[in-house]
Amino acid sequence: MDGPGRFPSSDQGSTAALNAGLAVAGVTAVAVGGPLVGLSPAWIAVAVGGGLALLSVDAASFAGLGGHLLAEALPLGVGEARLRRIAIHEAGHVLLAAENNLPVKQVLVGSRACLRQGLRANGSTELEPPPHAKLPLEDLRRWSRVLQAGMVAETLVYGGSRGGADDRALLGRLWGLSGHAVATAQQEQRRARREVEQWLRQHRGRLEERAAALLQGAR
């Protein structure tokens, strides 16, 4: 099938939104609070200009991932905790891919590892792409389990999922090409998610171990 064989499992759209949000918040804080503490308009203009310049450099040099790179490098276990969450997500994909006989080509944990591979993402699990655009039902069920496994793993460990927008988009694309009715696709995806949740609960130890191994490899 023509299409990406690499499936980033982070929410790529959140990168630009995060950086833009931080920039707006910083500018607002300086503009409102500056005069209250005696900061001159000239210094406010310099601060605003500097913030916008940093945002431009981030977009040009780091594909908008500068904020994520900084967060992942924070000391006192803060960056480590962020990377561990990404590793949990990717470990879910890896374990369910093995369980469903879908070969994994490469796993990346962290924005720095992804950036080195030219990816604008926080984590990525690269799978062998399906051979045909229109897959039989059983293959669609396998892909439904594997592509939802990262989100389910995150939810199991952290109570919710931050990543997975790309996984959902690809899963919707596969089902859209299949010719099945929307109701059937939704029912099958819900069924697959329940199966993944049950499997990961039974193999929670394996999930933690695989995440730890991925995290070790990311250092």
The pLDDT tens digits for 43-58 are 555 554 544 444 444 4
Spatial strand order of the sheet with 123-127 comes to 6-8, 123-127, 104-109
pLDDT for 115 beyond 50: yes
Sequence ranges of the domains in the chain: 6-11+77-218, 13-72
Fold of 6-11+77-218: Methane Monooxygenase Hydroxylase; Chain G, domain 1 (1.20.58)
pLDDT of residue 138: 97
pLDDT of residue 41: 63
Of residues 22 and 210, more confidently modeled: 210
User: Counting beta carbons within 10 angstroms of the beta carbon of residue 188, is it exposed (0 to 12), middle (13 to 18) or buried (19 or more)?
Assistant: middle
Query: Mean per-residue pLDDT for 60-68?
Result: 55
Residue 67's CB is within 10 A of a number of other CB atoms, namely: 21
Query: Which tokens is 11 given?
Result: 């929410």
In whole angstroms, give the CA distance from residue 13 to residue 5: 19
125-183 pLDDT, tens digit each? 999 998 888 999 999 999 999 999 999 999 999 999 998 999 999 999 999 999 999 99
Query: Mean per-residue pLDDT for 92-112?
Result: 96
Confidence label for 37 from pLDDT (cuts 50, 70 and 90): low
**What is the reported pTM?**
0.74
Long-range contacts of 50-55 (CB under 8 A, 24+ apart): 51/23, 51/26, 51/27, 52/23, 55/19, 55/20, 55/23
Q: State CA 213 to chain mean position distance.
A: 18
pLDDT over 70 percentage in the chain: 69
C-beta of residue 196 within 8 angstroms of C-beta of residue 148: yes
Number of Cα atoms under 13 Å in the Cβ half of residue 16: 7
